[in-house]
Structure formats: structure tokens, C-alpha cells
Amino acid sequence: MKADVAVIGGGIHGCSAALNLARRGLKVVVLEKDHVGRHASGANAGGVRTLLRHEAEVPLALASRAIWHDIESELGDDCRYHTVGQLAVAETDAGLDELRARDARMHDLGYSHEELINADELKALVPGIAATVRGGLMAREDGAASPYHTTLAFRRAALATGVDIHEGCRVETLAPAAKGWRVAATGIEVEAGFIVNTAGAWGGHIAGLIGDPVPLSYFLPMMMVTARVEPFLKPVIIGTERPLSFKQMLNGTLVIGGGRPAIGDRDTMTYRPDFAGLKASAETVRDLFPMLGDVPVVRSWAGIEGIFADEIPVIGPSRASSNAVHAFGFCGHGFQLAPIVGRLVAELVMQGKASLPIAAFAVDRFDTTE
Amino acid sequence: MNMKASFDDSVELAIIGAGPAGLAAAITAGELGVKATVFDEGSGPGGQIYRAIEDTGNRPERLALLGEDYAKGGDQVQRFRASGCRYLPGHGVFDIAPDGGLGVNGPDGARWIAARRVIIAPGAMERPVPLPGWTLPGVMGAGAAQTLLKSSGLVPSTPVVLAGSGPLVVLIARQLLAAGARIAAVLDTTPRANFMNAAPLLPSAYVAGNDLRKGLRWLREVKRSGTAWHKGVSRIRIEGDEAVEAISFSAGGRSQRIACRLVLLHEGVIPNVQLSMAAGIEHDFDDTQWCWRPRADAFGRTGVEPILVAGDGAGIGGADLAADAGHLAALAVAADLGRLAAGDLETRSRPILARMRAGRRVRRFLDCLYRPHQEVLAPPDDETMVCRCEEVTAGELRRVAAMGCPGPNQAKAFTRCGMGPCQGRMCGLTAAAVLASAGGRSMAEVGHLRIRPPVKPITVGELAGLAGVGEPPAGAPPMPTGPKDEEDA
């Protein structure tokens, strides 16, 4: 079959890119080796966070936030998104100093989406939080959504816009052709003018096939969910000294994440929880919210995420080919960025440049260290 | 016998469960000098089938009404008590790793321990019976009612309707009558076609099995008592607003309705596979018993080396086969640990294996005869609740199947089916069956819910106090990506 663009990887970034390309009139095929939302896109904690983003990601995250605030008109689905704010809490004076330094730096750069919160205001915002917290840093316009639901909303919107999505379809080989690429995948051959690599933790492999080898590693951030409790927590709580992301979902359950890794394998796509990490996360929750000690944890899970040593993704044109664009390796924080990165990928494919700064995410940034 | 409710971080053989299989494994392990620790969720040995046997042993009248098969558990438990194993009642296992690591939660808190070998003997659970009205107060599993009878001598005070299929229906009817309960009717849902399918297996089963002859005797007793026994029952609906008021059904081409306040449902038992799945053992779908079962050899050895399975948790066989499987698994462990020569393993296992072959002939007949009706497996009425925790109906599952949802792991995300506190333990099979029949696919194709530990809930406080794990691995990328990135950038 023929297409203008073959998108490799049907996670939230692949579906967002496909949707944006199709909306600009291109014929798009998505090739997904498993099913849409099987890995990181469906298995993340659903945080929609600009707070404490890497400086290079801030412009993208802020632009994405604007789309999130009106996600229903973007996708025809509310994605169970709600603006509740994200709040980093400091448990020590050193942690508070760290947040203050961050705040000063953000103001120097001209950003105002993060603000310092003193201990009293923090305790008013988060009833029940341990009296020992020193203060926090908050992005009030951040929020949370349902990750699998959102990924499927992107999938449905893409399908409705004419995108052809093939699941259970693994790309085997990529060969340059007269006008673009010949893609051989499970049970299908696609002649495509362009390739978009949104293959997540497997994006390094696809980049290698394109001719852009990158040192992509992977990890499996764990999450836990508790039984339902009475609503008490609005903002998403982020740890400063210890890894934590902690939120109450609309149905009352508490989701505990923060990036502590499970023990898993990218090739076999299997994993087991690491109870040392789950214990550490439970300790953090118990210390911050002593009244939650008796709440049962009912389930843990993890998704396979691609990660680079500098903890930011690759977004941008291929170095080896003029007919390929990358957007992968989001290091455990790609969910919030998906709405904007899909647009940037469409711009890169159609105009060869993006409307927001992406130089920091270049695929060739690793060359000097090799 | 060490009854101290604490344990070391490492054990030679961990046995999970103290039903017939776990008891037998501990007895054989003790005899061969393998140091076994038995983790039991229950408060005393016996499992479900011999529940509260040590207490009941002192109450001849209750023992008499529960029957000789129950009483036989008393001898097993005595031998178990004398086996020298360490017995830890009130200890649940919330996770098991392929290297034999176990997460155990007991009265003294949670602990991660290392076991050289593990025998998983978690037994069976009643197959959930999703039909219209099954979630109303006044509906119980027949096995749960039997548990009350065993542990507290509780007898229903209101006339009971007993609905379902399987050997336990006959046994429970007899026990209830003996205990003085009134049975308004037995609604036998065994499909008529099963009699034809099972008939060819009857002769060899009859020759092989005392149990079978005993079962037929019980059946005659119940029928002679004057209890109304409706055959070929289908389309059961339980009616009522706040609680059960009546049960309606179809039998012999006729619709009927019986007013009642208590309905006991039973459609056989299925293996408890949460732990064997968590351990990473391969599971196969058994089309006759209609359940998942771990893949294992005759000794219960699995593809995950330190871990064996025994008893009904590895496939339904009943108490005697479970005990034999427990003995075999312990023999295999002893041989593996160098406590039993290969020749002795052969000599000791041969008669057990022969006895089990005979037992399986009876079981095959029972499996065919009591294979559940399709409407029990995949409820045809859209309003029937499948997932009680998250209140997901069969209709909702069919709707997501029509949207292209391929299996229970995907349906979970659309509907939350299987995401509540029971983790799909109750609804997993039914949800998969609804999706399979809606999509015209087999259960093996549709697959089962992936296990997401903890297998049993553990509180935030217990998890925070988990002993026996080291520090979490370094190198976990911190989240958030904080100010330190300034230096990296």
C-alpha cells in the first residue's frame, strides 16, 4: 500500500502525530507492533505537568497545556482531564532551598507558571499533609487525565480523520525508495514518502534502521493504586527530596508513582514489581499523609519507557535522511507533551521546521560523547 | 512444633496453603528431613475442605452431620501437626517471584523472604455465577454457606433454594438437610447434553471410584427426603428490590417462580491461579473444567524452577487427588535437594501415581457431566453484573467488544472491569468469556487478565514497613526532572 507518511509506533505520540498530519490532508498509516496504548502511553500515571520541567521542555509543555485545557475540542473527548494543579512539596530546608532556586531561575527566564507556596498555604491547599512540610512550588494550571483513555481518544480521533492504524504490525525493515521509503512490516508493505518514528522505548531501534543510531536506554516506572477513599486531595503532589507523584483520581482511588523502576525486559516486554521500590514509595506517602496508613494498595503496574542519559527526548528531523522525523524517548514524562509534539511533527514533515524551539532535542546531540 | 508467629528471611521449602495438598506436602517433607514452613491464610490447618476441623473434632454432632469425608481431615491435620514443619496461620502471600522470593503478610507485619523451593497449594474457589440478580443480598455461594456450617455451625433459618450443578450441590443439600435446614427446591442446571457426553466415561469411572457410588447414594437420599428437584434448569433470574424475594427459571419448557429469601448458587470450583500466574508460570486453558491451570508435570514441577504447584490450585481433582499431588511435590523437592535418591523417588511415587490415575477417571466423568452451561459462563442478559467491584455489566463488555476491544486486559481500561479490590479474581473468567463469545474467539486467544501484584491487598502502612527488602536500586531517574538539569544542559 502507499501512504504519504508511515508513523512507526502507535502510542499517544504516534496517534497525535498521525492525527495532526491527517488534519493537514496527508494520507497516514500507523504501524504498531502491539496495540495502541499497550506500553508507556497506557501505563503512565496520567500527570499533566509543566511543573519542574527541564528548561528545554518548558515552551513545549506550556503550549501543550493550552491544548489540554480545551482537550475536548481537540479530540471530542474530555480524556477525564481536570485542572487541579501540581504541587512539589519540600520535606526539608534543603529541599525548600532547591525549590526556591528553581523558582528564581524560572523567573529569570521569564516564566510565571510556577509559584512558591509557603507552609501555611500548602497545609490549607492539602488538608491532612504532615505538619513537617516546609513549603512547596506549584503550577496551578497543571492537572491530570486518564492515560489509556486519552491515548484511545487520540486513536479514535485519528481514525475518524482517515488515518489507517495497523495493530499487531511490527516493522521489520526500512529501505530507501525512489520517493521515500519501503517499509516491510508484519503482513504488510508500505511505500511511504515520509517516516515518523514515535516508537517510544523501541525508538532507538527504528532510529538505527533509519540511519540515526542513538544511545536509548529504557526503564519501567512503577505505579500503585489504592482502594477508593473519601475525596480529600485536589492537586497532584510531587516529591522534592524523594521520587513521588501522588494523586487522587476522580473515582476516589489514590495513584502512587514517581519513577521508581520495576524489574523488566524490553525484548520480552515482561516485568515484575520491585518491592524495595514500592516500599520506598509507600514510606513517602505514609510520611506525607500519616492518615493513609490503613488504606489498602490493590494493584501495581509499570510501562516500558525509553530514556536518554540527559533525560530529555529526541524530537526533530533525521540526520541521515531528509524523509524522516523522530519523536521518541520521552524519559517518563511524554504524556503531557503529546498534544503539542504531534503538531510539531506535522510541521516538520510538511514545512521542514517547527514553530517552537527544539534544538535541544536533536538526534545528533549524542555524537560528541561517542 | 514451632508455633511462633515469626520467621526467618530464608526458608528451605515454603508451602503456601494448608488444605489437603499443603498438609500432605508438609507431612512428606517432614518425613524426608526437608525443613518446611507453611504459610496459611486461615486461622487453623485444613483449608476450605477441612475448615475448622480441629475445633469440630471435639464436637461429635457437627462432625456427624458434615460426614466421613470431612472427618478424615482430622487424621491429616494430626499427622501435619506431628510433621515438624513450622506452621504460620494468618499469613497471606501477596506476591511471589520466579526466584522463590515471597511477600508474606501476617500479624507481625509484612516481610519479603527467600525460599529455596516453593510449593503453591492455594486450592480452589467457587466459580462465580453471574446471572440476573446474583448481587442481591440473600444470594450466597453454596460453598460459602458450607463454610459457615463448618466453622460456626450456622444453619439457614429460612427455606433455601439451591441452584447450580456439580457434586457439591448434592453434598451441600445432604448436609443442610442433616443440619435441619429446609430446602425449598434444588434447581439443577446441569445441561441435558452433558449426560450424553459423560455416559461413555461412566463405566470406568464407576469401577474406579468409591466416591462416585457414594455420590449416587447421597443423591438418592436427598431425593427421598421429598426435596423438590428440578432438572434441566436454565434462564435463572433472582428477583427483588432490596433483597431476594423470588427466583424464576425455566425447566422442562415451562417458566416457574418460587418465592424465597435465600438462594445458594454453585457451578463448581476453579483453581486459585493468582499466585501461580504472579510467579510467571505458563497457564493453559482447560476447556472441560473451563478454567486456567498452571502448566506442570506429574510432580507439579513448572517451567519456573524453584516453584511447584499441587492440589486443586493446579486443576480441580478434589481432596484425595490434592493430597496425593502434595505428597508427590514434596518428594520431587526432596529429590531435588538431595534428600531422596532418584531410585527412591521412583519407588515412592509409583503407587501414588497409579492411585491418581484411577482418581482421574472419576474426575473426567464428573468434569464432563458437570461442565457448566454456556449461559453460566458468558451471561446472555446485558444487564447482568460481571464485575461487582466496579459494577460492569455483560452488556458493557459486549459494547467494548463490538468497538474492537480484543481481550480482558484492554477491556479493563475501557470499563474498569477487574480493577477493583478483588483484582479480577471474581470477574476475570466471566469477562474473558463474554469477550470471547462476542468476538467468536477461544478463551486461549482472548487470554486472561495480567496479574498486577499485590495479589492480595496490603495496606500503605504494611508496605511501608515491609521487612527483608534492601534499598531500592540506585539509578532510578528522579521525577521530577528538577533544577539539577541546569548543570546537564
One DSSP character per residue, A215-239 reads --EEE-BEEEEEPP------SEEEE
Peptide bond preceding B480: is omega within 30 degrees of 0, i.e. cis? yes
Question: What average pLDDT does range B134-158 have in this prediction?
Answer: 87
Q: How many CB atoms lie within 10 A of CB B6?
A: 12
Contact: B477, A307; criterion CB under 8 Å: yes
Contact: B421, A298; criterion CB under 8 Å: yes
Question: What average pLDDT does range A301-326 have in this prediction?
Answer: 96
Single-letter amino acid code for the residue at B30 = G
Q: Check residue B340 and give its pLDDT.
A: 96
CA distance B36 to B49: 22
**Is A199:A205 a contact under the CB 8 Å cutoff?**
yes
Residue B434 pLDDT more than 70?
Answer: yes
Residue A369 pLDDT more than 60?
Answer: no
Q: Which residues of A touch B459 (CB under 8 A)?
A: 293-297
Contact: B452, A294; criterion CB under 8 Å: no
Q: Check residue A221 and give its pLDDT.
A: 95
Q: Out of A221, A292, A307, whose CB is closest to B460?
A: A292
Comparing C-alpha atoms, which of B120, B161, B56 is closest to residue B271?
A: B120
Question: What average pLDDT does range A82-110 have in this prediction?
Answer: 97
Tens-place pLDDT, residues A114-130 = 999 999 999 999 999 99
Going by pLDDT thresholds of 50, 70 and 90, the confidence category of residue B73 is confident
What secondary structure does DSSP assign to A244-299, as a single string?
-EEEE-TTS-EEEES-PBPEEETTTTEEE--HHHHHHHHHHHHHH-GGGTTPEEEE
Contact: B459, A297; criterion CB under 8 Å: yes
Looking only at the bridges linking them, the beta strands covering A82-83 and A143-144 are antiparallel
Going by pLDDT thresholds of 50, 70 and 90, the confidence category of residue B474 is low
Q: Out of A35, A49, A261, whose CB is closest to B406?
A: A35
From A200's Cα to the closest Cα of chain B, the distance in A is: 17
* H/E element, B309: strand B307-309
Q: Check residue B473 and give its pLDDT.
A: 64
Contact: A152, B414; criterion CB under 8 Å: yes
Domain edges within chain A: 2-46+148-215+309-369, 86-140+221-302
Q: Which residues of B touch A311 (CB under 8 A)?
A: 477, 481, 485, 488
From A181's Cα to the closest Cα of chain B, the distance in A is: 30
Tens-place pLDDT, residues B156-187 = 888 999 999 988 899 889 988 988 899 999 99
A241 to chain B: closest CA residue: B478
CA distance A134 to A137: 11
Tens-place pLDDT, residues B263-307 = 999 999 999 999 999 999 999 999 999 999 999 999 999 999 999
Peptide bond preceding A313: is omega within 30 degrees of 0, i.e. cis? no
Residues of chain B with a CB closer than 8 angstroms to some CB in chain A: 95, 97-98, 103, 112, 280, 406, 410, 413-414, 416, 419-421, 423, 452-454, 457-461, 463-464, 466, 469-473, 476-483, 485-486, 488-489
Q: Check residue B208 and give its pLDDT.
A: 65
Q: Check residue B8 and give its pLDDT.
A: 59
Contact: B461, A293; criterion CB under 8 Å: yes
B488 to chain A: closest CA residue: A310
Residue B477 pLDDT more than 80?
Answer: no
Q: Check residue B411 and give its pLDDT.
A: 87
CA distance B72 to B86: 22
Segment among A269-283, B241-255, B390-404 with least mean pLDDT:
B390-404
Question: What average pLDDT does range B5-15 have in this prediction?
Answer: 73
Q: Check residue B154 and give its pLDDT.
A: 82
Contact: A37, B413; criterion CB under 8 Å: yes
* Phi/psi at B326 (5° precision): -65, -45
Is the alpha carbon torsion for A347, A348, A351, A354 positive or negative? Answer: positive
From the options 3.40.50.460, 3.40.50.720, 3.50.50.60, 3.30.390.50, give the CATH code of A2-46+148-215+309-369.
3.50.50.60
Contact: A219, B476; criterion CB under 8 Å: yes
Its pTM stands at 0.90
ipTM here? 0.93
Contact: A102, B482; criterion CB under 8 Å: yes
Helices of type H across B199-340: 202-208, 210-224, 274-278, 319-336
More confident residue, B214 or B117: B117
Question: How many angstroms separate the first and last alpha carbons of chain B?
Answer: 63
Q: Which residues of A touch B420 (CB under 8 A)?
A: 298
Contact: B421, A152; criterion CB under 8 Å: no
**Is A230:A220 a contact under the CB 8 Å cutoff?**
no
Query: What is the CATH code of the structural domain delimited by A86-140+221-302?
Result: 3.30.9.10
Single-letter amino acid code for the residue at A162 = G
B302: CB partners within 8 A, 6+ apart: B276, B279, B281, B282, B294, B295, B296, B308, B309
CA distance A169 to A156: 18
Question: What average pLDDT does range B433-456 have in this prediction?
Answer: 91
Average pLDDT, chain B: 88
**Is A94:A241 a contact under the CB 8 Å cutoff?**
yes
A245 to chain B: closest CA residue: B479
Contact: B485, A283; criterion CB under 8 Å: no
B477 to chain A: closest CA residue: A259
CA distance B407 to B436: 8
Single-letter amino acid code for the residue at B153 = G
Burial code (b: 16+ CB inside 10 Å, e: under 16) for B361-375 equals bbbbbbbbbbbbbeb
Contact: A279, B463; criterion CB under 8 Å: yes
Residue B484 pLDDT more than 50?
Answer: no
Q: Which residues of A touch B469 (CB under 8 A)?
A: 275-276, 279
Contact: A148, B413; criterion CB under 8 Å: yes
Q: Which residues of B touch A98 (CB under 8 A)?
A: 482-483
**Is B472:A280 a contact under the CB 8 Å cutoff?**
yes
Q: Check residue B211 and give its pLDDT.
A: 73
Comparing C-alpha atoms, which of B155, B122, B154 is closest to residue B49?
A: B122
Q: Check residue B480 and give its pLDDT.
A: 37
Interior angle at CA B120, CA B10 and CA B442, nearest 5: 140
Q: Check residue B51 and give its pLDDT.
A: 82
Going by pLDDT thresholds of 50, 70 and 90, the confidence category of residue B486 is very low
Burial code (b: 16+ CB inside 10 Å, e: under 16) for B381-404 equals eeebbbbbbbebbbebbbbbbeee
Residue A370 pLDDT more than 60?
Answer: no
B288: CB partners within 8 A, 6+ apart: B364, B367, B368, B371
Contact: A274, B473; criterion CB under 8 Å: yes
Q: Out of A272, A276, A293, whose CB is closest to B472?
A: A276
Q: Check residue B70 and give its pLDDT.
A: 79
Going by pLDDT thresholds of 50, 70 and 90, the confidence category of residue A368 is low
Contact: A293, B460; criterion CB under 8 Å: yes
Question: What average pLDDT does range B341-362 have in this prediction?
Answer: 94
CA distance B269 to B289: 9
Contact: A276, B473; criterion CB under 8 Å: yes
Cell of B473: 536500586
CA distance B228 to B224: 10
CA distance B377 to B68: 33
Contact: A294, B420; criterion CB under 8 Å: no
B331: CB partners within 8 A, 6+ apart: B28, B32, B299, B340, B345, B348, B349
Interface test with A, best of B450, B459, B479 (most A CBs within 10 A): B479
Cell of A68: 489540554
Q: Check residue A101 and give its pLDDT.
A: 98
Q: Which residues of A touch B489 (CB under 8 A)?
A: 54-56, 310, 360
B115: CB partners within 8 A, 6+ apart: B10, B11, B12, B13, B14, B37, B100, B101, B102, B306
Residue B40 pLDDT more than 70?
Answer: yes
Helix B20-31 vs helix B319-336: angle between axes, to the nearest 10 degrees? Answer: 30
Interface test with B, best of A149, A237, A278, A287 (most B CBs within 10 A): A278
Contact: A272, B280; criterion CB under 8 Å: yes
* H/E element, B118: strand B109-120
What's the 3-state SS for B450-471? CCCCCCCCEEHHHHHCCECCCC
Going by pLDDT thresholds of 50, 70 and 90, the confidence category of residue B479 is very low
Cell of A273: 514489581
**CA B164 to mean position of chain CA atoms:** 17
Q: Domains in chain B, start-ordered, CATH in brackets?
A: 10-125+270-340 (3.50.50.60), 128-267 (3.50.50.60), 378-446 (1.10.10.1100)
Comparing C-alpha atoms, which of A215, A218, A223 is closest to residue A201?
A: A218
Q: Out of B459, B463, B477, whose CB is closest to A331?
A: B477
From A364's Cα to the closest Cα of chain B, the distance in A is: 15
More confident residue, A191 or B366: A191
Interface test with A, best of B391, B456, B463, B471 (most A CBs within 10 A): B463
Query: What SS3 state is found at B488?
Result: helix
The upper half-sphere exposure of residue A29, i.e. CA atoms within 13 Å in the direction of its Cβ, equals 24
Q: Out of A259, A285, A297, whose CB is closest to B479?
A: A259
Q: Check residue B414 and give its pLDDT.
A: 80
| For the ranges A77-91, B458-472, B473-487, the one whose mean pLDDT is highest | A77-91
Counting one residue from chain A and one from chain B, the pairs whose CB atoms sit within 8 A come to 152
Q: Out of B112, B460, B471, whose CB is closest to A285?
A: B460
Q: How many CB atoms lie within 10 A of CB B432?
A: 28
